[in-house]
Structure 1
């Protein structure tokens, strides 16, 4: 099968695919294969390329060739995300693409549907759109994905924690990001770190927790069950989980929340208890949404480039729509770079000071 040519425009920062290739010591074609999840690439080579991508903060922009495919195309965004801040970032990214093209963006809200209802909704939607973007938590809905794939509708998942063998995916390395954030707290001297988990039905939640656990084990620290509480990415769940963590007989000196909404809730509970953040308690979040900068102090967090991920998802989706006449589906696993954003919510623990 002839692979479509890839046209990549320069980022505003001026980083090109050739610069990534030069830093990684590979060809631009190899970089393209790695970031698009196409072809066989050795693990060591893939790691070198992704290290260069992260170092240069490189993200491919929507290909000009894909813009032509956008004419008269209906793309659906299906959401049921409890985080309003996350959804806003996602919509901004998709609306920017839609405003530059003739794409008709259809927004569909599935409010707490069971599996059978999701199947019916997916069947109905598949008959009237050309492609679908699934953000969390629907990015891992087996019922929805199965029906859409059966209908022959190209689908791209955003922020799934793992690559699917049924649909394309745009994501970050949640395991690495969770590990890096935990290592950041450990370097500050924290040895009792509370963790608020995200939704239990999402692989990204598990990957962030696994990274946290790995960092603790590598530092010779134990994961105390009482210092791990379940959340569901909502602000309210963050309040409940933080109250439990701070009521522990030996409370943590830092709390790692799996998203910014729960991180903001942790800061709120700390203030209500008369604790100073970060002097008495350090708090970190994840995603770098507006929730991270509308609290005081502003949250240290992991920057997940949600708007850029939406842009990349639309690019991949348009290519899939253009390939619908081909006999072979091409699935893409596009891993974008993340970065740790240090703000004022972290300090050394009280004893060390």
Structure 2
């Protein structure tokens, strides 16, 4: 005959996921879907399960579930990107998605120029037993990494400035279209001699933004001299070097589009160093709408890139597939960037 469990011991026993399912009158899979914020539930069921979780003080046991799953509850970010603000914004979006779930985030920088990059990524996924990864540009453009994730049974989402994969495995923005819009805005203000601080070679975002810039000029019948294009590396320092090259031209441009806000801030800095008034003598447009854009003077006209929302969606695509069989989690794959008009653009004071 089994001994009765003392009442005080029963009261102190930690509730399990099976207890929550029984008390809520649902399946264990339904409880799991609530924990992982799956959209595949009606709100009444979701709230009923949440109420039982609150009342019982239930805390999911990620170790036990990870053992059953064969994976840890970890979402990795893999990147090789010099733009620190972009990485921070991506992390913010992912952490928003992981809040109140069993998942945690880990970050792994890699060197896309290294012969060992693929081995490094393989080791990272296997050592951490990752549930899924968000792959940031420019390495997100490498199809070999996607194949490696599939081989290892690791879910993945690729981030980019254009379509790179099917909807379940990507979040993308409309860089080319919105940069064309920003360039048309400069043209509408009367600018004809417009310089470009381009992004790094090998970045799809740099190519998409340059093509959007060039297409708007061609559409307006404006010739783009090669000396009005200066290469940057998405860093402040490279932006200074590129701007100096553009401002040394004769005549210099009356407006400059910089492919990210770091370099746009460098354009503003260099203009001030040379005594060039912004926007009276030089208009500036950036890309990203990072905090620096609204904190410099004059505040920068820029493209608002919804990277936080993209990071959040990427993570939800990964975690909402757990126990649901829904690869996309109801999350969008395409995000529209928008032009934010501030004080760094004005009609030119000279015509060339």
- What TM-score does the superposition give when structure 1 sets the normalisation length? 0.74
Task: List aligned pairs for 1:14-93, cutoff 5 A.
Answer: 64-65=39-40, 72=62, 73-93=73-93
Superposition deviation, residue 71 in structure 1:
8.6
Cα distance in 2 for residues equivalent to 1:63 and 1:285: 37
Give 1:274 shift. Answer: 0.6
Consecutive unaligned residues in structure 1, runs of 5 or more: 1-61
Q: Measured at CA, do residues 339 and 71 of structure 1 come closer, stay the same or move farther in structure 2, by a change above 3 Å?
A: farther
Match of 1:149 in 2: 150
The 3 A distance-change label for structure 1 pair 96 and 216 is same
Q: Deviations over 1:1-37 (max 9, x none)?
A: xxxxxxxxxxxxxxxxxxxxxxxxxxxxxxxxxxxxx
Q: Structure 1 pair 71/142, CA: closer, same or farther in 2 (3 Å)?
A: farther
Asked if 1:315 corresponds to 2:316, the answer is: yes
CA 1:249–1:98 in 2, change beyond 3 Å: closer, same or farther?
Answer: same
Query: Counterpart of 1:36?
Result: none
Residue equivalent to 1:256: 257
8 Å CA contact 2:78, 2:136 repeated in 1: yes
**In 2, Cα distance between equivalents of 1:140 and 1:82:** 16
Q: Structure 1 residue 220 and structure 2 residue 214: aligned?
A: no
Q: Does 1:340 align with 2:329?
A: no
The residue aligned with 1:292 is 293
The residue number in structure 2 matching 1:161 is: 162
Deviations 1:286-343 (A, max 9, x none): 011122123221110111111111111112122455578x9x999x981112211001
Contact conserved, 2:198 with 2:258, CA < 8 A, in 1? yes
Deviations 1:71-95 (A, max 9, x none): 9421101223211222221111112
Q: Is the 8 A contact 2:302 2:339 kept in 1?
A: yes
Whole-angstrom distance in 1 between the partners of 2:150 and 2:201: 25
- Per the TM alignment, residue 283 of structure 1 is displaced from its structure 2 partner at its CA by 0.6
Give 1:237's aligned residue.
238
Q: Which whole-Å CA distance do the structure 2 matches of 1:222 and 1:208 have between them?
A: 17
Tell me how far 1:65 sits from its aligned partner: 4.0
Counterpart of 1:124? 123
| Aligned CA distance change for structure 1 residues 113 and 163 (closer, same or farther; 3 Å) | closer
Q: Is contact 1:160–1:169 with CA below 8 Å preserved after alignment?
A: no
Q: Taking structure 2 as the reference length, what is the TM-score of the superposition?
A: 0.74
Q: Aligned in 2, Cα 1:224/1:167: closer, same or farther, shift over 3 Å? A: farther
1:206 and 1:167 map into 2 onto residues whose CA distance is 24
Aligned length: 287
Q: Is the 8 A contact 1:161 1:202 kept in 2?
A: no
Partner of 1:57: none
Distance 1:71 1:238, change over 3 A: farther
Structure 1 residue 121: Cα displacement:
1.4
Kindly name which structure, 1 or 2, has the bigger radius of gyration based on alpha carbons. Answer: 2
Preserved contact between residue 149 and residue 156 of structure 2 (Cα < 8 Å): yes
SS in 1 for 2:94: helix
CA RMSD, 1 decimal: 2.8
The equivalent of 1:3 in structure 2 is none
Give CA-to-partner distance per residue, 1:136-168, whole Å, 9 cap, x none.
222223443332232232211123433236972
CA contact (8 A) 1:154 1:320 kept: no
What are the Cα deviations for residues 209-262 of structure 1, in whole angstroms up to 9, with x where unaligned?
111111111111111111011112111111111000000122100000011111
Q: Distance between the aligned counterparts of 1:113 and 1:238, measured in 2?
A: 22
1:194 deviates by 0.3
Q: Residue by residue, what CA displacement relative to the aligned partner does 1:178-237 show, whole Å, maximum 9, x if unpaired?
A: 100100100110001001111211222111111111111111111111101111211111
Say if 1:71 and 1:101, in contact at 8 Å, map to a contact too.
no
Tell me if structure 2 keeps the 8 A contact 1:197–1:228: yes
DSSP 3-state at the match of 1:100: coil
- The answer on whether the counterparts of 1:260 and 1:292 sit within 8 Å (CA) in structure 2 is yes
Partner of 1:271: 272
- The 1-side partners of 2:298 and 2:169 are apart by 38
Match of 1:109 in 2: 109
Distance 1:220 1:168, change over 3 A: same
SS of structure 1 residue aligned to 2:333: strand
